[in-house]
Chains A and B, each alone.
Chain A
Amino acid sequence: MIDTVGRAQETPDQTQPFAELGLKPDEYQRIREILGRRPTSSELAMYSVMWSEHCSYKSSKVHLRQFGDKKPPTDALLVGIGENAGVVDIGDGWAVTFKVESHNHPSYVEPYQGAATGVGGIVRDILSMGARPIAVMDPLRFGPLDAPDTRRVLPGIVAGVGGYGNCLGLPNIGGEVVFDPTYLGNPLVNALCIGAMKHEDIHLASAKGVGNLVVLYGARTGGDGIGGVSVLASETFSEGGPTKRPSVQVGDPFMEKLLIEATLEVLHAGLVEGIQDLGGAGISCATSELASNGEGGMHVWLDRVLLRDPTLSPEEILMSESQERMCAIVRPENLDAFLARCAKWDVEAVVIGEVTDTGHLTIDWHGQRIVDVPPRTVAHEGPVYERPLARPAWQDTLQADDASTLPRPQTAQELQSTLLNLVGSPNLASKSWVTSQYDRYVLGNTVLAQPEDSGMVRVDEVTGRGVAVSTDCNGRFAKLDPYAGAQLALAESYRNVATTGAEPLAVTNCLNFGSPEDPAVMWQFSEAVRGLADGCLQLGIPVTGGNVSFYNQTGDIAILPTPVVGVLGVIDNVTRRTPMAWGTAGTIMLLGSTRAEFSGSEWAHHVHGHLGGLPPLVDLEAERSLARVLIDGAREGAIRAAHDVADGGVQQALVEMALRSDSGAKIVVAGDPFTFLCSESAARAIVVTDDEAAVRERAAAHGVECTVVGTVTGGPTLEFAGLFDVSLEELRSVHEATIPAALA
């Protein structure tokens, strides 16, 4: 029997499975107060998914406000936080939108589809802003490389990212692959997408214009991904309907490709008043958000939704997370033209409702009213929690356990073997086994891709204007000090963008943490957000959007706090980008100051299995100054190659540059050799120049320390004068063997 609004009024005392749906007793009570009666089963379904942590940000909202409150003054932000994705002005009438999201839990359960639909979801977010998606990136984190479950999870996730993105025709230009034991039961799959559009093409998710039509188009609605396991446990929802459904969605990249082309055509033809993608919470989310952002009312005939499975119940249709669907608000006079464009691309479309000014979202099922709610209460006025937070007792012990007590390599021979050991360690080894499964060439605008410091794509083929994006996070630093760790993630990403010659402009983030119900995790989260917001303010680049993923924890063991930061930069002419490859000659210079900082370093982690102490010093003013030298140096042509110094220190940066060009160098080690080679002090980069004086002058003008550390020789070895020589052949074989050997 259909649970109608009338029936809900007549049977106020009927027990409802709110707890199974993940709602707390007081949340259920609040729904009853809002409606002045018990919710219908359809209404309960909608509130349960929309008030979930994933959709409502109820634990994080009070902290995330800082990104708005501490927003630096900027003219670049065209659309800020709160829309599907933020939009920034990159000049010449172009706007760029970018965002990173998590798909962690589904990817652990079903690696291929979990990762694939993660890519699909973020691409639709970018598309719904009116932009053509132009590139993707995927920061990935796994358990130890040699763990049996990593062999199950990693190949599937990589194949899923590639399988979906390659088939969509989007170049994959970067990302990360990081290994740490805490990710063993909780791999992180973050997906970033970049889109470009002209300013006039920006679209927003709002249902404006009473009488306008609500069109659902794309794939048919099926029983996949329905509201997660809590809903499936509910007996009352599936009487006579499907009983057990996979909670992971199944992707169809071919349909998504058609959806992209059809959507861009209807947008450019001016046939759309408002648009929203269907992701988490499906139709519940799209209808309530569109209505809430628009005239405030909407009526939906739910039985018009095209189904893959005709036995689906209305509750299931409302909660289904079937992929490759979009919802558009279309004027009645434009409907035929809209449907014709969809038909051209073989995309099914159907009118499921219309915009009203009643202030209510009403939904009918074969003539019976099953939902009548104020849409704001579903979409925007969910519960907000100030979760208890507490600096964990172990934090002081952890910070006191400094890496300075670890035994260091002393002799030249020990330094050499440490170098080879680190160059082949899982986190520092070549990731080409992963990235070679991604198409980096499609669309023909990729200027830089992995393993370069940032991915760079040309946006305007005439002027050469382009964008660069990097994503970074060292979770070990964040564990040692979440505030500083988040700022170091920001600093590295910012530096990577500047290293390639682009001007950093905006920030997105994917905040991956353990359970918000653990006060220690909540403290890590609050500190990371505070650090990131303060850091963005100081660097003058706003946060334009992002995503929070909690509950990345198995039992009591939470993942390393992992605030992945993506920075987007603009370069007015991509022909002036700075690559990593240093060619066969030139002077090698180190920009920035080196301190003996080893706590949380790759050396401490890989060689000693140690994590303790305080992370490297954060000096955002030094980062700004360094960025100026890098960007101006690229623009003036003084800097020919560059690479940021981060994980693994200077030696790792030099090895990667040498291998990129297959060209050796002679390095003159300054000061304590181990500190010079392995320290992970921030705000540093290696640059190669044919005009040493010009770089010195630039660096001096910005107060950046500048040291000549060697010369590119073009030879077959990397020589560390007075210490040791190592052949590029040996470095390459060590660097490239690790990952394929482990996954073979």
Chain B
Amino acid sequence: MRIGVVTFPGSLDDRDAARAVRIAGGEPVALWHGDDDIKNVDAVILPGGFSYGDYLRCGAIARFSPVMTAIIEKAHEGMPVLGICNGFQILCESHLLPGALIRNDHQHFICRDQTLRIEDVSSAWTSSYTLGQEIVVPLKNGEGGFVADDATLDQLEGDGRVIARYVGMNPNGSRRDIAGIRNERGNVVGLMPHPEHAVEALTGPTTDGLGFFASVLTSLAGSR
């Protein structure tokens, strides 16, 4: 199973995302922001970092890179796409997901081991979890507050499209403790915390993050 990992100028967690794919049993494929070819990959991860230095707005410039044109088109056709942190911001800027991510309410960058509750297991990226399962993965962001208008939030919740919520504490002021959401079809997921940093007991707080990568491999296998 070939999982593309995009490198934008300023991407930081691209190596980590590729490692997570490898550990989960997939084949990571490096994709370059300037290419419009996504090399026949089966799914794509938009990794964390500061694409284009967060200039203008987080993700606002990356959204217009050639590779995104191809990814947006494929996403509409059902290809699984996971945006982590800056990748989530890019997905919102691309209008593949609703809402926006704004500066943390406490104004500081925050790095901590964060407890999340998985609230939807129907998406391509969360199917290997059990509903209500609590996991601990690193969170690290400066602009991780998820916001949307109340109608959108109500609809996300009503449709079961909130895939994960913060538990214990809300680290960035996200509305309704939302840590991640999916699109209607369930193939596109945006997540602020970093599951790719929780794939080895040696370097992560847990290995709870592996489920995201295992999920997509299972979903893809099932759809073949």
Choose, from B68-76, B93-101, B108-116, B155-163, the stretch at the interface: B108-116
Query: Is B194 on the interface with A (CB-CB < 8 A)?
Result: yes
B10 close to A167 (CB less than 8 A): yes
Q: Mark B105-148, 1 if CB is under 8 A from A, else 0.
A: 00011111000000000000000000000000010101000000
A254 close to B53 (CB less than 8 A): yes
Query: Is A478 on the interface with B (CB-CB < 8 A)?
Result: no
A345 close to B9 (CB less than 8 A): yes
Query: Is A439 on the interface with B (CB-CB < 8 A)?
Result: yes
Query: Is A554 on the interface with B (CB-CB < 8 A)?
Result: no
Q: A447 vs B203: C-alpha distance in the bound complex, in angstroms?
A: 5
Given contacts A440-B111, A445-B203, contact A252 B53 (CB under 8 A): yes
B52 close to A444 (CB less than 8 A): no
Within 8 A of B (CB), among A429-484: 435-447, 458, 461
Q: A166 vs B85: C-alpha distance in the bound complex, in angstroms?
A: 13
Closest chain B residue to A433 by CB distance? B108
Within 8 A of A (CB), among B168-204: 194, 196-197, 199-200, 202-204
Q: A458 vs B16: C-alpha distance in the bound complex, in angstroms?
A: 13
Which residues of chain A are within 8 angstroms of B12 by Cβ–Cβ distance?
167-169, 257, 442
Given contacts A166-B140, A346-B9, A574-B202, contact A443 B111 (CB under 8 A): no
Which residues of chain B are within 8 angstroms of A389 by Cβ–Cβ distance?
none
Q: A442 vs B112: C-alpha distance in the bound complex, in angstroms?
A: 12
B10 close to A437 (CB less than 8 A): no
Given contacts A166-B140, A440-B111, A441-B194, contact A254 B203 (CB under 8 A): no
A159 close to B108 (CB less than 8 A): yes
Q: Mark A405-445, 1 if CB is under 8 A from B, else 0.
A: 00000000000000000000000000000011111111111
Closest chain A residue to B198 by CB distance? A441
Distance between B221 CB and nearest chain A CB, rounded to angstroms: 26
Query: Is B50 on the interface with A (CB-CB < 8 A)?
Result: yes
Given contacts A167-B50, A254-B10, contact A444 B111 (CB under 8 A): no
Given contacts A167-B50, A254-B50, A436-B112, contact A441 B197 (CB under 8 A): yes
Distance between A258 CB and nearest chain B CB, rounded to angstroms: 6
Contact-residue size bin, chain A (C-beta under 8 Å from the other chain): 20 to 34
Within 8 A of B (CB), among A130-175: 159, 162-163, 166-169
A169 close to B140 (CB less than 8 A): no
Which residues of chain B are within 8 angstroms of A439 by Cβ–Cβ distance?
109, 111, 140
Which residues of chain B are within 8 angstroms of A437 by Cβ–Cβ distance?
108-111
Query: Is A187 on the interface with B (CB-CB < 8 A)?
Result: no
Query: Is B64 on the interface with A (CB-CB < 8 A)?
Result: no
A166, A169, A458: the one contacting B203 at CB < 8 Å is A458
Q: A442 vs B111: C-alpha distance in the bound complex, in angstroms?
A: 11
Which residues of chain B are within 8 angstroms of A441 by Cβ–Cβ distance?
16, 111, 138, 140, 194, 197, 203-204
Q: Mark A550-575, 1 if CB is under 8 A from B, else 0.
A: 00000000000000000000000011
B15 close to A436 (CB less than 8 A): no
Within 8 A of A (CB), among B38-52: 48-50, 52
B52, B53, B110, B202: the one contacting A253 at CB < 8 Å is B53
Query: Is B13 on the interface with A (CB-CB < 8 A)?
Result: yes
Which residues of chain B are within 8 angstroms of A169 by Cβ–Cβ distance?
12-13, 49
B109 close to A162 (CB less than 8 A): yes
Which residues of chain B are within 8 angstroms of A163 by Cβ–Cβ distance?
109
Most chain B CB atoms below 10 A, which of A252, A346, A436, A461: A436
Within 8 A of A (CB), among B9-41: 9-10, 12-13, 15-16, 19
Q: A489 vs B9: C-alpha distance in the bound complex, in angstroms?
A: 40
Q: A458 vs B50: C-alpha distance in the bound complex, in angstroms?
A: 24
Given contacts A437-B110, A439-B111, contact A444 B196 (CB under 8 A): yes
Known pairs A346-B9, A442-B13, A442-B48 / 6 extra A-B pairs, C-beta < 8 Å: A159-B109, A167-B53, A257-B10, A436-B112, A442-B197, A446-B203
Q: Can you name 28 A-B residue pairings with CB atoms under 8 Å?
A: A167-B12, A167-B54, A169-B12, A169-B13, A169-B49, A253-B50, A254-B50, A254-B52, A254-B53, A255-B53, A257-B10, A257-B50, A346-B9, A435-B111, A436-B111, A439-B111, A439-B140, A441-B194, A441-B197, A441-B203, A442-B12, A442-B16, A442-B197, A444-B19, A444-B200, A445-B203, A446-B203, A461-B19
